Amino acid sequence: MKPYMKFSTTKYEGHESTICDDIVTIESVLELKLDDEFIAAFVCTPGQEKQLAIGYLLSSGIISSISDVEQVIYRNKLCNVTLKEGTTVRQGKGFSQIRRFVGTECSAPEMLQELRTGGDIPTIQISLDIPLKTLYETSASLRDYQPIHQKTRGTHAALLTKIPENLRVSAEDIGRHSAVDKAIGLAIESDVDLTKCFLFCTGRLTADVVSKAAWASIPLIASHSVATDAGVRYAKKANITLLAGFRHKRFWQYHDGAGVIIH
């Protein structure tokens, strides 16, 4: 299934109008189950459903490794992940999981407290040297990794770059969270060491996005967009370097992770 489709539209330029075709992004749905138990529901771009499922489970801290997974079956908008016998999963719901599906057991004060404290995300200790030139080049080239966006203007992108090889893995989705999950899932599938990668996004760096990097052991996140206060708080809690607002060789660093050196 293509991630986009054509519609007939009226295009206005000043006071002139023209009937023409436009290509728009398709919204699809995905239900995720773990050993036949409901975990989350997504509104997402069709394609890479298995990678989205695995990336989400890892970036939410539910599983710790792809080696925990026995099989992944996708059929009829449902992805069911089966774990190997004896695998222990993280108890409770991670922050990003609460954002996807708010159950009656989760109250607004509890979510607010989690935003204020940084929740229970791990603190990572990873050393990584990143040339400033690489960050600028990645920012400038991010659009090259967005073929769907180039047609529709309707998707977010997430790009993982492994240092020092500059090996890149990218994904797009209408949801910024799903784009990150897909990129993580694709990287895991290709045996890319996430501890040697930095993540560049097009979307806002909120608490739930930063928590994904923490659970996946990614030491640096950057974005063309802005960071939120909770995103900064989570980055400090997780010891992740947080860079935002990239524009024409300019950006803001909101937190300097102890193990990351930008030179």
Question: Residues 29-64: pLDDT tens digits?
Answer: 888 999 999 888 888 889 999 999 999 999 988 999
Of 28, 26, 8, 27, the C-alpha closest to 17 is: 8
Please choose, from the candidates 131, 195, 138, the residue with its C-alpha nearest in 3D space to the C-alpha of residue 170.
138
- pLDDT above 90 (res 120): no
* Chain centroid to CA 32: 16
Q: Which residues contact 123 (CB under 8 A, 6 or more apart)?
A: 214, 237, 238, 239
**Domain 128-262 indexed as CATH 3.40.140.10:** yes
Tens of pLDDT, residue by residue over 174-231, are 999 999 999 999 999 999 999 999 999 999 998 889 999 999 999 999 999 989 888 8
For the chain, domain boundaries: 128-262
Tokens of 212: 């994904």
Mean pLDDT of 103-107: 41
Say how many residues make up the chain.
Answer: 263
Which SS3 state, helix, strand or coil, does residue 233 take? Answer: helix
pTM of this prediction?
Answer: 0.83
Query: For residues 13-23, b (16+ Cβ closer than 10 Å) or e, as one string?
Result: eeeeeeeeeeb
